[in-house]
Every structure is written in C-alpha cells, then in structure tokens.
C-alpha cells in the first residue's frame, strides 16, 4: 500500500471561454472539410478587395463563404461578396473592436458550410484587439499595406507576432510613398521568424497568383483532412 | 406647510470616472493656458508626420509639448518629437487599444506645461476604441488618409460623429488610388454636419498653411482664456 498515494492531476492548458468556443468552431469546420482563414488588418489596408480577388480566382471550382465583421450595421462589404455569387454573413459587433469565437459561431450557423470549401473571416479593421481573440480558424492572416509605413511591426508587435501569413498589399504605391522594405522585413523577422509572406497589389494583380496557388494547396489539404 | 414637500434633486449628467479625470485635465490645461488637441487615426494615416509638420510650422514662436500613446514600449514617435527640440512623453498602454484620461493625467505630470502653449496628444492608432474615451483636451481631431478608401465614414461612424476637426491626409496619392471625394464627404456630412475639414499632404506640404493658421488662432484664444 506504500505506493498507493494520490496523484496530482496536471492540467496542461486551461482554455478560457473564448478558446473553448474557438475549438468547437474548428471541430465544426474540420467535420465539414472547410478550410478557414481569419483576415486582420488596419482600416483601409484592403481586406475586402483582397478577399474579392481571392474568391474570384478560386471560382467557380472552389466556392468560398465569407463572414464580414463590422462595427456598424452597414453591409457595404458583405454586399460586394454576394455580388460575385458567394454566400456572406455580416456580423455587426455593435461598436466592439474585434470578432470573437462566439460571434463566429453565430455566423457559421448562417452559412451553407456544405456548399463551400473555404471560409474567409474578415475581422474588424484594427491592429490591436483582434490579435487577442482566437476564432478557431486554421490560419490567421495579417494584411499590411505600403502607405501605412514601414514602422508598423515595431509599433504593433502583438499582431505581427501571432499571425501565420503576412500579405503586403498596395505594392503598386511603393514609388509614391517612403517605405523601406528592408526595415519593415527586419521588424517582421524579429517578431515572427520565417513568416510566410506575399507582397501583392489588388490594383494591378501583382503577386496574387503566388498567394492563390499557395492557398489552393491549403484548401486541398483541408479536403483530405 | 402644504408646499413644504421634498424636492426631487435632478442630476443633469453623471460623469463616469474617466470623464471626471478628463475634466480635471481640462482645468489643469486651462489654468496653464495650454491649448490641447487629441489626434486620432487608423495606424499609418500619418499622425506623427502631421504632428511634426505642425509643431515645426509653429516653432520657434509657439512651443508644443507632445504626449505619444503607443501600445508597445517603442519610442520611435517620441524620439522624432524631441529631435526637433520639443518636449515629449511616451505613454505605453501595455497593449491597450486607446489612451484614457488617467494616462493623460500621468503624461501631463511629466511635461513642462509652463514652457508650452500647445499640447498635442497622439492617440493609439485605432478608429474604434479611442472614440469612447474623453481625455479632457480642447479638440478631438481625426486624420483620415486617402489610401484608406472613401468608405471609412460609413464603416467607422462613431469616431467621425464625435470629432471637432477632420484632416484628410495624403491627398498627393489621389491620382494613384480609387477615392471618390464626394462619396467620402457625403458620409462625413451625414454623421457630423459642417465639420471643419482640412485636406492636406504632409509629403508635399499642400494645405498645411490653412490648418496651421486656423490652429494659431485657437492657440491665441487659449492664451486669452
């Protein structure tokens, strides 16, 4: 009986409420073979344009559903998605500065998950708060844009540290604004070494092919999961 | 005795804790004859460049102090201010997405208020949360920028509704991006009729004279208060 003592249970990680619902979102998406990405950016970095270019490049073979996060009850962005024939749900955060897992859960209930292979979540335009709320998506993607300036990784490190992919949008504006690409990339590398990065322009189309090819590969892996 | 009944006290406005400290900030600034502006914008709209151009145009006759709000412990912006010979204090919000009145109070204690006539507060780059926290400054100023796109008033109405002055920065980029100025101004007018607006370019200097002349007038009024 000497060895029959109590074992101390070790709980490896305590999920908070948001993370628990995020995990449920992920299980639902995996069960339906839907690959999912969460797009975060500053206001005006070009989230909606980038999403539109992406879903148009994937169509008609691969269908995409979109959850649009907005702080106001305007459907400007969601209307652009449905105009190209893909299902979209708008989530009005009622002034809140980010989406959370509960909001995405509600959004998923309104989407025809069996008709899509890719879910794109357009988060609220904000470089700070969205970084703190996991949604359960497979990848977190940050869109930086050239006219924002090259010091953004240094000034908003949390979001750069946490993402899986970086899109550098509006590279067509490089000739017209001061932007030191080496300084920018140095900051990114410091926070998130080896981060997968795609420089693109949604205006000229530059760089979008590489991104779309990469994404197609990820969607295919999602189908086989 | 018929008329000697209890009167119901009517409290016109209950200030919350932030508003009470904001009011104290205002009293302090008025007592020192310092005119003060709170600058809000999306990340990369050009807040620091605009502040630099402004304080350089006012110097050496009118001296400016700056409070820099940052979410990370980097002094990139504050260093630019001290490099032009003006006092600056950096407030690191520790990841928080806005400044509040308590943070400004702490900042004011570190500034030589008797040596300046203008206080500029550079808020955290965010179009959502700063709108909800009064700091006690005399004017709230929003900087929009052309590459952000013309739909921002419709998508971030709260901040457009609450400001006293709108700066439209980066007008030099108008030829290179799609931006319908009429649509933009329509949105602004709907939310904030008659809003004082200055289109400028910190790159070319266009429009800055009008803004600086207007601000000088306000600073002079502050001196006589």
Cis peptide leading into residue B167 (ω within 30°): no
* pLDDT > 70 in chain B, percent: 95
Asked if residue B145 has pLDDT above 80, the reply is yes
Q: Residue A147 is nearest to which of B44, B97, B152, comparing CB atoms?
A: B44
Kindly report, residue by residue over B170-223, the tens digit of the pLDDT. Answer: 999 999 999 999 999 999 999 999 999 999 999 999 999 999 999 999 999 877
Does ipTM come in above 0.90? no
Kindly report, residue by residue over B74-122, the tens digit of the pLDDT. Answer: 889 999 999 999 999 999 998 889 999 999 999 999 999 999 999 999 9
* pLDDT > 90 in chain B, percent: 84
Radius of gyration of chain A (CA): 19
Longest dimension (CA), chain A: 79
The average confidence (pLDDT) of chain A is 93
Residue B15: predicted pLDDT: 62
For B201, name the nearest residue in chain A, comparing CA atoms only: A177
| B74:A147 CB<8 A | no
Q: How far, CA to CA in Å, does B29 sit from each of B4, B65, B121, B223?
A: 44, 12, 13, 11
> Please, how many CA atoms are within 13 Å of residue B58, restricted to the half-sphere of its CB?
28
Q: Residue B148 is nearest to which of A43, A70, A76, comparing CB atoms?
A: A43
CATH class (in words) of the domain with range A16-220: alpha beta
- Band (pLDDT 50/70/90 cuts) for residue A96 is confident
Residue B95: predicted pLDDT: 84
Q: What's the pTM? A: 0.90
| Residue B190 near chain A (CB below 8 Å) | no
Kindly report, residue by residue over B29-49, the tens digit of the pLDDT. Answer: 999 999 999 999 999 999 999
| Residue A190 near chain B (CB below 8 Å) | no
Kindly report, residue by residue over A167-184, the tens digit of the pLDDT. Answer: 999 999 999 999 999 999
Measured in angstroms, the CA of A178 and the nearest CA of chain B are apart by: 9
Measured in angstroms, the CA of A148 and the nearest CA of chain B are apart by: 4
Kindly report, residue by residue over A1-16, the tens digit of the pLDDT. Answer: 455 677 776 655 556 8
Measured in angstroms, the CA of A126 and the nearest CA of chain B are apart by: 6
Distance CA B59, CA A105 (A): 54
Q: Tokens at residue B198, please?
A: 């200055």
For A130, name the nearest residue in chain B, comparing CA atoms only: B97
Measured in angstroms, the CA of A116 and the nearest CA of chain B are apart by: 27
Residue B11: predicted pLDDT: 58
* pLDDT > 70 in chain A, percent: 95
> Please, how many CA atoms are within 13 Å of residue A94, restricted to the half-sphere of its CB?
2
Question: Which residues, 6+ apart, have CB-to-CB distance to A197 below 8 Å?
Answer: A165, A166, A167, A168, A185, A188
Distance CA B121, CA B104 (A): 8
In angstroms, the first-to-last Cα distance of chain A is: 47
| Residue A173 near chain B (CB below 8 Å) | yes
Residue A22: predicted pLDDT: 96
> Please, how many CA atoms are within 13 Å of residue B78, restricted to the half-sphere of its CB?
20
| B156:A43 CB<8 A | yes
Kindly report, residue by residue over A51-82, the tens digit of the pLDDT. Answer: 999 999 999 999 999 999 999 888 899 999 99
Measured in angstroms, the CA of B185 and the nearest CA of chain A are apart by: 16
The average confidence (pLDDT) of chain B is 93
Longest dimension (CA), chain B: 79
CA-CA-CA-CA torsion sign (A94, A99, A105, A107): positive
Domain regions of chain B by residue span: 16-220
| A151:B126 CB<8 A | no
Residue B3: predicted pLDDT: 58
Which chain A residues are closer than 8 Å to B74 by Cβ? 154-155
| Residue B154 near chain A (CB below 8 Å) | yes
Q: Tokens at residue B169, please?
A: 């920065």
Which chain A residues are closer than 8 Å to B177 by Cβ? 173, 203
SS3 A168: strand
For A154, name the nearest residue in chain B, comparing CA atoms only: B74
| Residue B162 near chain A (CB below 8 Å) | no
């Amino acid at each position: 009986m000497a060895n029959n003592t109590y074992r101390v249970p070790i709980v490896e990680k305590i999920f908070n409420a948001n993370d628990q619902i995020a995990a449920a979102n992920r299980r639902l998406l995996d069960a339906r073979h839907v690959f999912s990405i969460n797009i975060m950016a500053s206001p005006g970095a070009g989230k909606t344009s980038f999403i539109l270019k992406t879903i148009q490049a994937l169509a008609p073979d691969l269908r995409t559903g979109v959850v649009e996060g907005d702080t106001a009850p305007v459907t400007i962005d969601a209307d652009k998605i449905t105009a190209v024939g893909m299902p979209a749900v708008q989530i009005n955060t009622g002034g809140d500065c980010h989406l959370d897992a509960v909001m995405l859960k509600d959004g998923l209930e309104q989407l025809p998950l069996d008709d899509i292979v890719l879910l794109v979540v357009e988060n609220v335009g904000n470089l700070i708060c969205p970084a703190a709320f996991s949604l359960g998506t497979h990848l977190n993607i940050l869109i930086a844009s050239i006219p924002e300036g090259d010091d953004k990784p240094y000034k908003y490190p949390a979001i750069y540290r946490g993402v899986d992919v970086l899109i550098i949008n509006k590279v067509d504006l490089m000739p017209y604004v001061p932007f030191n690409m080496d300084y920018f990339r140095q900051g990114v590398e410091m926070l998130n070494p080896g981060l997968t990065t795609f420089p693109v322009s949604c205006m000229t189309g530059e760089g979008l092919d590489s991104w779309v090819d990469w994404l197609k590969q990820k969607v295919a892996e999602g189908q086989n999961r």
